[in-house]
A and B are shown apart, each in its own frame.
Chain A
Amino acid sequence: NAGVTQTPKFQVLKTGQSMTLQCAQDMNHEYMSWYRQDPGMGLRLIHYSVGAGITDQGEVPNGYNVSRSTTEDFPLRLLSAAPSQTSVYFCASRTRDGPYEQYFGPGTRLTVT
């Protein structure tokens, strides 16, 4: 199993550009989520999904879109990048039922200039 994979590892965008961060898991987990982590801070939940076709907002959803067309994939789309979106983005997944351990991807480091 590859676990949770994220691409790209690094990305630099100009203000106003759009892009999609990819996340995939091969553990057949129903639950997936996206977090952002700013320097010296904890993780903040952006969006999450409890199954294919079902998504919901987390703490900081503005400026981001998600969709979940398959169990395996949960892409995060930045609509119009802003410098405030410079951060490290982590994707995570978990089974619906216990145990409630989340598996995290390696992260994508995004810089918006």
Chain B
Amino acid sequence: LAKTTQPISMDSYEGQEVNITCSHNNIATNDYITWYQQFPSQGPRFIIQGYKTKVTNEVASLFIPADRKSSTLSLPRVSLSDTAVYYCLVAFTSGTYKYIFGTGTRLKVLA
């Protein structure tokens, strides 16, 4: 199972762009990279998912280099409400349904 490594915490100021990098050296050919956001006392919420190159949606961008051993979640112009824990994980797409959550990155957005 591919495990992920992320920074434990990050601080940013409102209005800045935040980039959180995740390494997943053992990612398999069929795995997708997925990011979740979790607020205190709530379940994780899906942010974005990708397989390679770049994916963008209304809240974030995901950059995946050609070797797929790392990925970067980019949050444009963060606000105080983006303070949360962000988890990177690889998603098994064939056969079994297993995800490995790491300890995540605790993002604190300052005014």
Contacts from A to B (Cβ < 8 Å): 4, 31, 33, 35, 40-45, 48, 50, 56, 58-59, 90, 92, 94, 98-107
Contact = CB atoms under 8 A, between A and B. Distances in A.
| Residue of B45, B99, B102 with most chain A CB atoms under a 10 A cut-off | B99
Contacts, number: 55
Contacts of A98: 93
Contact of B101 (A31, A43, A50, A101): A43
Interface in B91-105: 91, 93, 96-104
Contacts of A107: 41-43
B83 interface: no
Contacts of A31: 97
Interface residues of B, number: 22
A106 B104 CA distance: 19
Contact of A106 (B36, B43, B49, B93): B43
Interface string B51-73: 00000000000000000000000
A99 B43 contact: no
A98 B32 CA distance: 10
Contacts of A58: 98
| Residue of B42, B44, B45, B97 with most chain A CB atoms under a 10 A cut-off | B97
